[in-house]
Structure 1
Amino acid sequence: MESDTSQSREWHAQHVHADTLNQVEPDSAGRFAPRPFSLTPRELGDLLATVSSAPPSVRAWIRYPATAEHIQGLALAWTPRAVYVQWESHGTHRVWVWASAVERTQRRLSTTVRPLPQPPAHSITVRDAPRLVGLINAHLSPCGAEFVTSMTQPGGPFAVMVFGTIDAKGLRLDLSTDPARNMCALQLFDLAVKKVLGERNTAPSFEEAIAAYPWRAVLDELAFADDEADQINL
Structure 2
Amino acid sequence: MPADTLKQVEPDNAGAFVVRPYSLTAPELGGLPAVLASAPTPVLAWVRYPATADQVHGHALAWTPRAVYIEWEGEGTHRAWVWASAVERPATSDKADSSTPPQQQANVLTVLNTQPAVALINAQLTQNGSEFVASMTQPAGPFGVVVFGSIEGEPVRLALSVNAATDMCAVGLSNLVSKEILSERAAPTFEEAIEAFPWAAALDALAPD
TM-score normalised by the chain length of structure 2? 0.48
Higher Rg of the two aligned structures: 1
